[in-house]
Amino acid sequence: MTDTTKRFRAAIVGSGNIGTDLMYKLSRNPHFEVVLLAGIDPASEGLARAREMGIATSSNGAEAVFEDGKIDVVFEATSAYVHRVNAPRYELAGIFAVDLTPAKVGAPVVPTVNLAQQGNVMNVNLLSCAAQATVPMVHAVTSVAPVSYAEIVATVASKSIGPGTRDNIEEFTYTTSNALAELGGAGKGKSLIIVNPAEPPILMRNTIYCVTGPDVDIEAVRRSVHERVAEVQKDVPGYNLVLEPFVREDHIMIAVEVAGAGDFLPKYAGNLDIINAAAVAVAQKRLIGATA
């Protein structure tokens, strides 16, 4: 255990689904003290929850972060447009920023893939919930077999994605697609997102297709995928393989479902957990890893 007396002062900007869920997760973490949840809608459910928990709130967006003056880490869960404006200001103020939008200002990190290589940067990008859920699988396959093309389909419950994500479908698609190649190790990548309004809401489901050619060593792929699933489960216990890797024509098909811890939204919203678990891991590595 590292020095738990030092609690880093964390601010969350964005009081939607992701920001509010993160507030619960960080509040349970001994290394962080959530000192602010900032949104833009004073009537938002997230801000009301923060007030109940005794956490300061603001409906003036990132401004409250700068007014505070002593924030160690800011988690931004607004939209790509907003983060592009705020990112240089955080940097100027010397605040480490964890970007949960698909703005991709800073270097992208997917914990089981490249957290160890994360340097002392001031801005880390977490791509998208779909990338956090699928890049580990693509990377598990490319670790044992060359993949010329990887494609993923993230199917999420309508209730689990808020207005920020809906306003960023372009960035979400583009950023996730690139991550499959850049971090996943595939020759090329493409991502699809499907929003399903079924009631009761469906668990976040991700299908991963990796074009490997038909002669791939599927047993090696299975081992690699199972090991990776176990690794992801350490931070996200609801991450489960629901379709064992199998060969179909020229590609491998894999599917994982992600059940959440049910902190803000019920457990169907595993998309919140997968990106927020990554946010916590990245902040710990940068702040505690450096001081430990």
Q: What residue ranges bind other proteins (CB under 8 A)? A: 149, 151, 153, 155, 158, 163, 166-170, 172-174, 190, 192-199, 202, 205, 207, 209, 211, 242-243, 248, 251, 253, 255
DSSP bridge partners of 253: 209, 246
Name the token pair of 150: 């990887």
Minimum Å gap between C-beta 151 and other proteins is 5
Task: Give the residue with the Cβ less far from other proteins, 24 or 149.
Answer: 149
Tokens 């931004």, located at residue: 76
Q: Name the active-site residue from 64, 129, 180, 232.
A: 129
Identify the DSSP state of 159: G
Task: Give the residue with the Cβ less far from other proteins, 6 or 166.
Answer: 166
Task: Give the residue with the Cβ less far from other proteins, 148 or 233.
Answer: 148
Task: Give the residue with the Cβ less far from other proteins, 93 or 218.
Answer: 218
Task: Give the residue with the Cβ less far from other proteins, 161 or 232.
Answer: 161
Report which of 229, 245, 226, 227 is spatially closest to residue 237, judged by C-alpha positions.
229
Distance CA 58, CA 47 (A): 8
Tokens 């990132």, located at residue: 62
Name the token pair of 58: 């603001």
φ, ψ for residue 242, nearest 5 deg:
-110, -15
CA 259, 265, 55, 163 dihedral sign is: positive
DSSP per position, 227-246:
HHHHHHHHH-TTEEEEEEEE
Q: How many CA atoms lie within 13 A of 234 on its CB side?
A: 11
Minimum Å gap between C-beta 49 and other proteins is 23
Minimum Å gap between C-beta 220 and other proteins is 21
Task: Give the residue with the Cβ less far from other proteins, 11 or 193.
Answer: 193
Query: Does the annotation count 210 as an active-site position?
Result: no
Integer angstrom CA distances of residue 42 from 16, 85, 119, 272: 12, 21, 36, 22
**Do the beta carbons of residue 100 and residue 171 sit within 8 Å?**
no
Alpha helix (H) ranges present in 143-237?
163-166, 169-182, 218-235
Minimum Å gap between C-beta 20 and other proteins is 19
| Residues designated catalytic | 129
